[in-house]
Structure 1
Amino acid sequence: AAIAQKSGKFQSEIVPVTTTIKDPETDVSQEITVSQDDGIREGVTEESLSKLTPAFGGVTTAGSASQVFDGAAAVLLMKRKTAQKLGLPFWGNMSRPRIMGVGPLYAIPAACKKTGIDVKNVDIIELNEAFASQAVYVIEELGLDLNKVNPLGGAIALGHPLGCTGARQIATLLPELRRQDKSIGLTSMCIGTGMGMAAIWERE
C-alpha cells in the first residue's frame, strides 16, 4: 500500500477534501486539504509486527486487524444505455449473482459459478482484510494466487470504513485493471452475522 501511494496509483480515485481543523491545545484554526489516506504505516516489518501482543487473546494484534477509520466512497452505477445516453465513460460491468453465500469463502465460488468464470482466470482480487487470519484462511482454502490478491494493499493498510469498503474496493480495482492491462477482477468481503458478498467485474 505504501509503494502504491508513493507512486500515485490512488490519485485518480481520490477527490481532495479541504476543511478547517482546530488545534485543541492552542485553539488555533488552520485550513488543510486531505488528498491521501493517512493510515498507511510505512516501514512496518515482520519483526516489528511480531513484537505486538494480541489485543483480545488469540492471535489478532493491532498489526493484523483493519484500522478504525473514517472515510467515504461513491460508485456511480447505471445501465449501459443510460451511460451512453449521458455520454459517460464506463470502466467495468458487474456480474449479478443472485445467491451470495455465507462469507467470502462461499460467496466467491458462488459468484464464479454464476458467471461461469474460474477463479484461476481472475486477474485481480480485492479481498477485504477485516482480520489477517480471515483473509489468509479464505486465500488458502480457495487456493488463490497471492500475487493477484490486494496488489495495492488491503484494509489492514488502507482502513475499513463501514459502509464504504465495497465502493472503495471497486474504486481501487478498476484503475488497477487498466494499469496492468488485465480484464477480470473480483471483489469480496464479509458483511457480519456470517454473511459475505462477491462480485465479478470485467474491464471495459
Structure 2
Amino acid sequence: MADALIVAARRTPIGTAGRRLAGMTAAELAATVLRAAADDVGAVPAEVVLGNCMGPGGDVARVAALTAGLPVAVPAITVDRQCASGLAAIELGARLVSAGSGPVLAGGVESASTAPWRFWPPQGDGPPVRYERAPFAPAGEDVAMGLAADLLAQERGVTRQRQDAYAAESHARAVLAAARGEFADEIVPVDGICADERPRAGLTAERLARFPAAFREGGSVTVGNSCGINDGAAAVGIVPGSAPDATGRPGLRVIGAASVGVAPGRPGIGLVPAVHAALAEAGLGVEDLDVIEFNEAFAGQVLACYDALGIDPSRACTGGGALALGHPWGASGAVLVVRLFTQLVRQGRGRYGLAAIAAGGGQGTALVVEACR
C-alpha cells in the first residue's frame, strides 16, 4: 500500500449523545468533514468510503456525499466493522488507491443521538421487541462489551487503581491539548461548536475511585473509567503518492494495515494481533513508533492491550483518547488517524505512527503510517 498517501484529515468536535450535536443526523455530521477533506485534497474523489454502526441504513456514505455537495457521479459505500468501522474504511480506501483508483475520501461517522430505534419482529401474537444493538456473535458467545472489558482486565491483572489513574490522565491530557490549541486545525466547526464536549478538568483518580462497578458485582470497570456515548465524524483524503501533483506534498504514507478476528468473548484484545500484523507489513517494531493512538473504549481494556504489546502507556494518546474525547463508534477509528495526522504532519513530531482499535464481535484493525514532509 506504499502508494496511498493521506493528505487531508479533519474531524468534527465530539459531542455527548443527547447534547450539543444531538440535532445533527449521521449524514449531516459526515457531510461536514467530507466537504472539508475534499477542499483540502483539491480534487474530486473517485470514491467515498465511510464507516457507521448505528445509523438509519440507506447507505449513509452516499447520503453524506450528496449532502456534502460532491458530484452525483461519485459513488459511496458504507462499512460496518462496528467500533473499527472508521479505521477499516480508511484501510479499504488506502487499498483502493494503491490498486489504481483516483483520490478517495474515507472515514467514519456516528450519531448516537439520532440512531433509530430497532425492533425484532413479533413472534406469534407477541409485540415487537426493541433492542439496543444487533448481536455481535452467535447466541451464547455474545458478551456485552462492558462485561467483556471487565473480565479481560481481571484476567490480565489490570487493577482498578491503574484504570482510574489512566482515565484521569486521559482527561488531563485532553484538557491540556485543547488549551494549547492542538485540536484547532483538525476540527471543523459544526453550528459554531468547535470544541470537544466531554473532557473534564480536575478529574482525579481519587474522584473516579468513588464510582461503583458498572457491569458486574466486584468488578473494576465503571462509568468513570469507560468511554462515553458520543456523536461525531472524521474523514481523510487519500491520493496516489506517485501522482505528479502529490510529489512533495506533506502527508502520511500508509505502509502497513491489517484487520483480524479474535474470540468474540474478549473483543477488546482484538487490536493486539492487528497491530502485530500491521507492524510486520511495515517492517517496524513498537520501539520504532513516534506516535501511538489506540482507541480507549475502557481503561482496563486498553491497558491490557498496552501490556500485551509492551507499550508504555505514557507514549500513547498523548493528547487524550476516547476516555476523555469520546467514542462515536463508527467514527472513532478515523479520529485516531486524524490525531496521527495532526501530530506527525501538522506538528512534525516524528516519522512513524500507529492507530489501532478493537471491535465488538472479536475484531481489531490497525494502520501504520510514515510521515512525508
Taking the aligned partners of 1:138 and 1:162, their CA distance within structure 2 comes to: 19
* Aligned counterpart, 2:193: 34
The answer to whether structure 1 residue 199 and structure 2 residue 372 are counterparts is no
The answer to whether structure 1 residue 3 and structure 2 residue 3 are counterparts is no
Contact 1:66 1:130 in 2 (8 A): yes
1:165 is aligned, of 300, 308, 332, to: 332
Aligned pairs (5 A) from 1:103-122: 103-122=270-289
* Identity over aligned pairs, percent: 35
* Aligned counterpart, 2:301: 134
Contact 1:128 1:154 in 2 (8 A): yes
Secondary structure in 2 aligned to 1:75? strand
Q: CA deviation at 1:100?
A: 3.6
* Aligned counterpart, 2:321: 154
Taking the aligned partners of 1:41 and 1:180, their CA distance within structure 2 comes to: 27
1:80 is aligned, of 241, 263, 280, to: 241
Cα offsets for 1:136-184 (capped at 9, x unmatched)? 0011111102222111111000111011111111111121124253110
Taking the aligned partners of 1:67 and 1:184, their CA distance within structure 2 comes to: 29
The answer to whether structure 1 residue 92 and structure 2 residue 252 are counterparts is yes
* Aligned counterpart, 1:63: 224
Taking the aligned partners of 2:330 and 2:259, their CA distance within structure 1 comes to: 20
Q: CA 1:53–1:133 in 2, change beyond 3 Å: closer, same or farther? A: same
Q: CA deviation at 1:96?
A: 3.8
Letter in 2 for 1:59: S
2:311 is aligned, of 136, 144, 167, to: 144
Taking the aligned partners of 1:193 and 1:172, their CA distance within structure 2 comes to: 26
Q: CA deviation at 1:54?
A: 1.3
Q: CA deviation at 1:66?
A: 0.7
Alignment size in residue pairs = 189
Secondary structure in 2 aligned to 1:104? helix
Q: CA deviation at 1:95?
A: 2.1
Taking the aligned partners of 2:186 and 2:361, their CA distance within structure 1 comes to: 30
Q: CA deviation at 1:51?
A: 0.6
* Aligned counterpart, 1:22: none
Consecutive unaligned residues in structure 2, runs of 5 or more: 1-173, 263-269
Pick the structure with greater CA Rg.
2
Taking the aligned partners of 1:152 and 1:56, their CA distance within structure 2 comes to: 28
The answer to whether structure 1 residue 185 and structure 2 residue 360 are counterparts is no
Contact 1:170 1:187 in 2 (8 A): yes
Taking the aligned partners of 1:146 and 1:60, their CA distance within structure 2 comes to: 18
Q: CA 1:183–1:73 in 2, change beyond 3 Å: closer, same or farther? A: same
* Aligned counterpart, 2:207: 48
Taking the aligned partners of 1:117 and 1:154, their CA distance within structure 2 comes to: 24
Cα offsets for 1:11-51 (capped at 9, x unmatched)? 01001112xxxxxxxxxxxxxx1001011111100100101
2:188 is aligned, of 4, 15, 28, to: 15
Query: Given the two structures, how large is their TM-score scaled by the length of structure 2?
Result: 0.48
Contact 1:124 1:177 in 2 (8 A): yes
Taking the aligned partners of 2:363 and 2:331, their CA distance within structure 1 comes to: 17
Taking the aligned partners of 1:136 and 1:169, their CA distance within structure 2 comes to: 17
Secondary structure in 1 aligned to 2:232? coil
